[in-house]
Amino acid sequence: MKTIRLESGILDENDRIADENERTLRSRGVVTVNLMGSPGAGKTSLLEMTAVKLGGSVRWAVIEGDIEGSLDARRLERLGVPVVQINTSGACHLDAHMVREGLRCLDLDSIELLFVENVGNLVCPAEFRIGESRKVMVLSTTEGEDKPRKYPLMFRESDLMVLSKADLLPHLDLDLDALLSAVSAVSPDLSVMQVSSRSGEGAGQWIGWLRECLG
């Protein structure tokens, strides 16, 4: 029987370009965070809060991945953050090749931190390395406690999980203990941080984590 392993070939090629991106970014001293999560989880809101809290203390930029349009990029530009928009024309994740094109549009010597806001999707962004230093996933309190068991890969791949919309916890039926034990069942070493971009809860911890990454 002949078996065609198309997917692994695609992933090998992606890994090669991801390695190249990683070398480029590292040689310029840029820490890169791949920000992943479902549509509406609060990725862009987290970046807006980050812009306000960091002020001018860190030089950073964003690569914004969307299937279409530039709504999120405009939100960040309004706050003075340099943004490169990548439209994937249908693809539901960013890959290393797309990010390499994005890097060509940035002055990497002028930044120390780069966020790549991935396409809103809880599945395949976790499968494609882009050359990042850290993977952060945003899961909102409104998404329910079953997500780690249904979509374990992103939880396993991430270095940090931001539990967003923490201000809504008192109003939701979410069983927080059940969610946290599901997270540690699928990814025992994953750190979890409760954050609300609206109320500012957890902002200090988030900014502290970023500063630690910057070293």
Min CB(92)–Zn ion separation in Å: 3
- Work out whether 72 is an interface residue with Mg ion (CB under 5 A): yes
- Per-residue tokens: 19: 């390695």
Helix, strand and coil percent figures for the chain, each rounded to 5 = 45, 20, 35
Count residues near Zn ion (CB under 5 A).
Answer: 3
Question: Is residue 164 within the footprint of Mg ion (CB under 5 A)?
Answer: no
Q: How far, in Å, CA of 80 to CA of 175, rounded?
A: 38
**3-class SS of residue 29:** coil
- Distance in Å from the first CA to the final CA of the chain: 52
Examine residue 44 and tell whether it contacts Mg ion (CB under 5 A).
Answer: yes
Q: Which is nearer to Zn ion, 92 or 192 (CB)?
A: 92
Question: By beta-carbon distance, which residue lies closest to Mg ion?
Answer: 44
Closer residue to Zn ion (CB): 10 or 172 = 10
Nearer to Zn ion, 124 or 192 (CB): 124
CA–CA separation, 190 vs 205, rounded Å? 15
Does residue 43 bind Mg ion (CB under 5 A)?
yes
Q: Which residues bind Zn ion (CB under 5 A)?
A: 92-93, 124
